[in-house]
Structure 1
Amino acid sequence: MKKINKLFLLALCGLTFGCNSQLDLEPQGAPTTGNFWKTESDAVAGVNSIYELYSDDDMYGRGFFWLNNASDDIGTKPRANAERIKNFQVDGNESDTRSIWGKHYQVMKRANDVIRNVPAISMTESIKNRILGEAYFNHAVMHLELAYRYGDDRAGIPIQDRSNPENIYVSRAKNVAENYAYIAEDLKKAADLLPYFSSYSAENYGRAHKTAALAYLVRTYLYAKDWANAEKYADMVISSGKHSLLTNYEDVFKTANNWSSEYIWSVTSSAKDTRVGCIFPGVCLEDKGWGLYNGWGNFYPTKELYDAFQTGDKRREVTILKTGDKFMFFGQERTFNVGAFTVSSSNRTGYQFRKYMEPYSYANPIGSTINPNGDKPSTSLNVPLLRYADVLLMKAEAKLMQGKNADTEINQIRTRAGLAAISGATITDLKRERRCEFGGEWTDRHFDLVRWGDAQTVYAQPLHHADGRVIYPARTFNPQVMNVWPIPPTEIQNSKGSLTQNQGW
């Protein structure tokens, strides 16, 4: 079977720019035939195949980020599907998002193949445990990402028949609570089986590890509103001693810190392999990159996000470029939205996300820190999916929801941001810190608002350009319908009646 080099999530982007070594991996898809699942090599190849789909643009390249566009933090290049998403007028068949459901279930299917077949293989016990832990972890992450976006208390999402891969027509879970319970059990198994990240050598960076499983347990329990368990597992991550905040917020978004103490789980990327990697930095870069690179200019920060930062918050300038700001681009200092670096007409807000710009700052970055293929604009920077700051703020939210004091966790975040410590922090303080800490990241402001019950009120307010003009008028958000997205109609058609659409869509 033809081999591919440097599978997306396992690309070896170490502590220097670029990638110093490669893995030769055989993506097996869903190998179930009798001539496979016999040896340790088969088991490794099987688990590696789980990661192959992560480089798909409909996964972490763009797919879910189009749904994140619904939030008040983001304005997009004007295009029909983006406008439909922004105004909650979708049917689930939009070309930008309709593959999300199927791609996630493909990854879950591959994980289940590993879980079902690897236990019977005679092999090194520590490697077997790691492989099974990886499978449980990746299945849980995929499951969670769909569960809270498509499931609610009226209907969850289908739980695949792990023991029978031929049984593909599975009805929806009774409610999303069933999904959260299933996900939590998978993550607990993963945490028991996986090693700590610190035990990995560089060629295994990007594989699932113990504190990643524990951190996703925190996120799972947060969405399940099981505050006590969210706090419990956050404490387990914290007390492990394996993670800490970097001193400088800006350093989080530098290639040299891809595997820093703040790393928990990221989209491992590549600037050298033109087939793989997370394209999100290029998707956020100014349209056409001022003639120097093929930026896509799809996502821009709103004035509402810019104004959410308090005076003196160091995170604002790290997160957002505004008119007149100096920045390094292709080895020279430039001035944003001035002269040759004026933004294009497709820039909806007059700002740009700055977080992912470090790989573009060097002289001659093409082929070293940014992808030579502008149609696959990945960079050497790993895009965070869950970092240590999130664990702290999820713990703070869980404590506040239980009536406990969360000053310690919130002030760790504020202190790094250059802000004064506060006393008696409230849920309002927590909401502001989440917004400012994770602006433009995967953490998903939209579903924070849904989880808090704030979406209807927030979306009833217009959104603005940097110059103060309205770019999106007030929007109508009906929580009874729009707290979840519509399931792609093609998936319903293919299910032979086992899938039903979310109510109201």
Structure 2
Amino acid sequence: MKKITTSLFMIMLLGVVSCNDFLDVPLKGNISTDVFASEQAVTGCYAAFYSNDKDWQIWEAWHIYAMGNILSDDAYKGGQNDGDQPDLGIMERFETLPSNPAIRSVYRLNYHYIFFFNTALEGLSKATDVSESIRDRYIGEVKFLRAYAYMRIMMAYGSESKDKGLPIIDHVLLQSEMGKVPRSNFMDTWNFIINELKDAEARLPVKSSYPVDQVGRATKGAAQALLTRSYLYTKDWVNCEAYASKVIDSKEYRLAPEFKDVFSKDKEHGVESIFELGYTIDKYFGTGYDFSHASWWASAQQPRGAYGGWGLSGLSKDLLTEFEQNPGDPRIVWTFLFEGDEDVSKGNASVVSFSGGLNPDKMHLRKLWDPLNFLLPVGQTDYNYTVIRYADVLLMYAEAANENGKIAQAQDALNTVRKRARESSFTDPYRNVKGYEFDEAMDAEDRVPDVTAGDKTSLRNAIWHERRVELAGENLRFFDLVRQGRAGSVLRSFAAKYSTLKGKAFQDGKHESFPIPQDEVALSNSLISQNPGY
């Protein structure tokens, strides 16, 4: 079920934020606390991640969901030609300039959302239309969403090596404050995110306490899971282990029995889901067409042709060879869609064709594939976006426990994830896999065996491997490589191995971070400083 979903109507009803330049234009249409409607305001905060008062910013919002894949060794930009999303092509070659439109849209949209949340929090602090306990929960929900927005841009624009964080805007700005908020340092920004999530954790209920018609709201476990991720990115292994343990010990979540269930549309908000953004179909503002706001990012990765996608973020051979091949890993079936596969969802086989001239390895992401039987008109899809799931928490726990010297506990968490993979089906009911020859031993009992590495370094490498194959295509790979301190070496090696420009120009100390949009630097009279090297 998808109850907390996108709604253009809600955005228009609230009319919260309409700003062209987030540091120099006053907010317009702020919520009036005299007639504040708490429930609509909080629902509108969820909807902020899908909608915007500028038509084409709805389109641009999907970029953040693909950058972690496209900038890594897991996927090519893809598409039909160089003119298909050229801004992302420039980014994957690490030729990015501060004027890059994709860089600008991701940065500005997330601050747009933050302004939205600040306005909602101001209204909630004075609201009298709900009980104190409900208002307290609503504040927790909005603080969680604000922390998530900051986390998204901090992972992309923060610079650990140069101690650069982000401008922290935690209230509705006065006119006198416009253009006068500088960047905080690296840990101050992360500590703001952490404190927001701790506040949310204290206010939010557990997932099982919500009624069925409230599925999709932020929960205590979601705050704890994002705290785990925050500590992972700041290398605070003690707290990373502690917060992952909170999620695990809550018994609110478990691995789905089958790997395929994680991405099945009828299993959304399922047992493994800790937090996901729920999408539905709505009128695309100003056009008269029906579009899912998720369709922009999910359809972008669908095959072209019959599926109505754009063939972007095509998976790489390098990712495929990372999976264990002999015997095979069943997750291959549910991660990759191959050229030549037959879609049998309507009873008559339709061959999945190669999509686009910049997708050299001719593969797409099965996790986001809509078979013809389920595909909405014009290639639309209402796939939810999974922000964080239980397998990720188990692997973060494994990594932290290993760094803390708890080898046995780390192995156990890692092998829990591998056991699910080992026991998963490798038969896709919607297609015949023709584009890949599986080893005859795919169904061997010893496939995806338990890891027995007994030293910290070997186990760390095993956990990093598992993150890559388990979470492939889920927008984490590039950011994982950065925090692991090996983005440059991995991407330059990729470029050399496959004779491609992708990753070749990566410069250590520079390309771990995106540039701050140049016009934001200019609008602040350089109070917002640029990232190193740009």
Tell me the TM-score normalized by structure 1: 0.85
Task: Using the TM superposition, name which of 393-402 and 115-124 deviates more.
Answer: 115-124
Select 1:129's aligned residue among 116, 120, 136. Answer: 136
Q: Distance in 2 between matches of 1:148 and 1:345?
A: 30
Letter in 1 for 2:241: E
Q: Does 1:101 align with 2:107?
A: yes
Q: Distance in 2 between matches of 1:104 and 1:24?
A: 15
Q: Does 1:255 align with 2:265?
A: yes
Letter in 2 for 1:380: D
Q: Distance in 1 between matches of 2:212 and 2:449?
A: 38
Q: Distance in 2 between matches of 1:8 and 1:103?
A: 23
Task: Using the TM superposition, name which of 88-97 and 128-137 deviates more.
Answer: 88-97
Task: Using the TM superposition, name which of 188-197 and 244-253 deviates more.
Answer: 188-197
Q: Distance in 1 between matches of 2:533 and 2:3?
A: 37
Which residue number corresponds to residue 18 of structure 1? none
Give 1:46-195 correspondences, 5 Å limit.
46-56=41-51, 57=58, 61-66=62-67, 68-77=69-78, 78-79=81-82, 80-122=86-128, 123-153=130-160, 154-162=163-171, 164-166=173-175, 167-195=177-205
CA separation of 1:118 and 1:323: change in aligned 2, threshold 3 A: closer
Letter in 2 for 1:38: D
Select 1:352's aligned residue among 364, 374, 395. Answer: 364
Q: Distance in 1 between matches of 2:181 and 2:270?
A: 42
CA deviation digits over 1:206-232, x for unaligned, max 9?
222211111100111111111111111
Which residue number corresponds to residue 34 of structure 2? 38
CA deviation digits over 1:247-287, x for unaligned, max 9?
11011110111011111122312246534431222111112
Report the 3-state secondary structure (helix = DSSP H, G, I; strand = E; otherwise coil) of the residue aligned with 2:104. coil
Tell me the TM-score normalized by structure 2: 0.81
Query: Is the CA contact 2:11–2:47 (under 8 Å) kept in the aligned structure 1?
Result: no
CA separation of 1:456 and 1:394: change in aligned 2, threshold 3 A: same
Q: Does 1:199 align with 2:199?
A: no
Query: Is the CA contact 1:148–1:176 (under 8 Å) kept in the aligned structure 2?
Result: no
Q: Distance in 2 between matches of 1:228 and 1:137?
A: 22
1:184 Cα offset (Å): 0.6
Q: Distance in 2 between matches of 1:52 and 1:240?
A: 28
Query: Is the CA contact 2:169–2:181 (under 8 Å) kept in the aligned structure 1?
Result: no
Q: Distance in 1 between matches of 2:220 and 2:174?
A: 27
Task: Using the TM superposition, name which of 42-51 and 429-438 deviates more.
Answer: 42-51
1:383 Cα offset (Å): 2.4
Q: Distance in 2 between matches of 1:35 and 1:89?
A: 41
Q: Does 1:452 align with 2:484?
A: yes
1:92 Cα offset (Å): 2.9
Size of the aligned set, in residue pairs, is: 469
CA deviation digits over 1:169-220, x for unaligned, max 9?
3444442111111111100111111122223334432222211111100111
CA separation of 1:198 and 1:333: change in aligned 2, threshold 3 A: farther
Q: Does 1:319 align with 2:335?
A: yes
Q: Distance in 1 between matches of 2:485 and 2:104?
A: 26
Report the 3-state secondary structure (helix = DSSP H, G, I; strand = E; otherwise coil) of the residue aligned with 1:62. helix
Report the 3-state secondary structure (helix = DSSP H, G, I; strand = E; otherwise coil) of the residue aligned with 1:435. helix
1:309 Cα offset (Å): 0.1
1:33 Cα offset (Å): 7.0
1:342 Cα offset (Å): 4.7
Give 1:486-501 correspondences, 5 Å limit.
486-501=515-530
Report the 3-state secondary structure (helix = DSSP H, G, I; strand = E; otherwise coil) of the residue aligned with 1:96. helix
Report the 3-state secondary structure (helix = DSSP H, G, I; strand = E; otherwise coil) of the residue aligned with 2:314. strand
Query: Is the CA contact 2:314–2:364 (under 8 Å) kept in the aligned structure 1?
Result: yes
Unaligned segments of structure 2, at least 5 residues: 18-26, 52-57, 284-289, 423-447
Query: Is the CA contact 1:147–1:156 (under 8 Å) kept in the aligned structure 2?
Result: yes
CA separation of 1:144 and 1:8: change in aligned 2, threshold 3 A: farther
Report the 3-state secondary structure (helix = DSSP H, G, I; strand = E; otherwise coil) of the residue aligned with 2:387. strand
1:330 Cα offset (Å): 5.1
Letter in 1 for 2:76: G
> Relative contact order (C-alpha < 8 Å, sep 6+): which is higher?
2
Q: Distance in 1 between matches of 2:123 and 2:502?
A: 53
1:471 Cα offset (Å): 4.5
Task: Using the TM superposition, name which of 175-184 and 326-335 deviates more.
Answer: 326-335
Select 1:475's aligned residue among 480, 504, 513. Answer: 504
CA deviation digits over 1:314-366, x for unaligned, max 9?
11111012344444455544444xxxx35454533211211111x3242xx35
CA RMSD of aligned residues (A): 2.8
Query: Is the CA contact 2:256–2:271 (under 8 Å) kept in the aligned structure 1?
Result: yes
CA separation of 1:168 and 1:392: change in aligned 2, threshold 3 A: farther
Q: Distance in 2 between matches of 1:251 and 1:259?
A: 11
Select 1:426's aligned residue among 459, 465, 471. Answer: 459
| Identity of matched residues, % | 27
Report the 3-state secondary structure (helix = DSSP H, G, I; strand = E; otherwise coil) of the residue aligned with 1:478. coil
Which residue number corresponds to residue 3 of structure 1? none
